[in-house]
Amino acid sequence: MTEIITFPNTSWDEQVATAAAELALTELERGNVLLFPQLRFSIEAGESRLLSPEIAGNAKNVSFDPSTGSLRASGLGDADFQALQELMRRFAASTRSLLRNVLPRYEAGLEQARTSFRPAEIAGRRTSWRKDDTRLHVDSFPSSPTQGKRILRVFTNINPHGHSRNWRLGEPFERVARRFLPSLKPPIPGADRVLEVLRITKRRRSAYDHYMLQLHDRMKADSAYQSQVAQRAWEFQPGSTWIVYTDVVSHAATGGQHALEQTYHLPVDSMLDASTSPLRILENLLGRELT
């Protein structure tokens, strides 16, 4: 089962001892969650008004691009738009500092992707089974193929009312893969190019992405699996931060409101032990290259 490995950091810029950094790297790549229970992201004066589900409109989250400063949030006045933009810019920069100190091996390879603010309550949200994040799954996205790169995420619970962010954590990735691979269909030759030309995907969907997307969907669609598979519940308290490879850790967010999330991509070759990546695990099980 996935384990929660706790670290005492209280500052995003805190230097980490070599032994602690080595432990963090090893445990993360083993498929465990790195938890920083006292690493709070501060909400500054005047920003508390942003902690409202109305900020996201009908969407489940607000998206920010750290590379351009672009914020996807409709219906906000200029003052709120600029305040939210600054909050998310500050969070994106804070996560970069955290990873630079906790996972220094990754610094050269890390690619910072989008930042998200999730102000809506997860529990009870009505959506399709495929988009239902309260079901156990590993991350894979239809329009955004990673072509084998890792999906590394930093989460922070900024709930101002003392409410936890509730997750379920499932079985190890290799066990998930062995369970579902026999029922998965291989990619249709040439389909990847068609999807890219039609701009259904942002880049070519590799065979790896094809299998990961099917795994994501099969896990969520299987109600018996969701209820019967070995799993554990965990409550991430307000003021805590956690780091996890969401492409390999089977997870479900079952409750909570007001969370920040930063996504990073990492080439497999930048890892300490690439054999623990979902790309290498799937290639080993299928007996062929997938990128």
Q: What is the DSSP letter of 2?
A: -
Q: What is the DSSP letter of 137?
A: B
pLDDT of residue 125: 85
- The answer to whether residue 153 sits within a structural domain is yes
pLDDT of residue 76: 83
Residue 34, beta-bridge partner list: 5, 243
Q: Convert the pLDDT of each residue in 176-203 to its tens digit.
A: 999 999 999 999 999 999 999 999 999 9
- The answer to whether residue 85 sits within a structural domain is yes
d(CA 62, CA 84): 9
Give the CATH number of the domain where residue 111 resides.
2.60.120
- The answer to whether residue 113 sits within a structural domain is yes
Q: Which residues lie below 8 Å from residue 163, measured CB to CB, with a gap of 6+? A: 238, 256, 257
| Tally of domains within the chain | 1
Range of the domain at 255: 4-286
Residues 34, 7 contacting (CB under 8 angstroms): yes
Residues 91, 157 contacting (CB under 8 angstroms): no
- The answer to whether residue 291 sits within a structural domain is no
Q: Read off the pLDDT band of 276 (50, 70, 90).
A: very high
pLDDT of residue 256: 96
Q: Convert the pLDDT of each residue in 53-103 to its tens digit.
A: 888 877 788 999 999 999 987 678 899 999 999 999 999 999 999 999 999
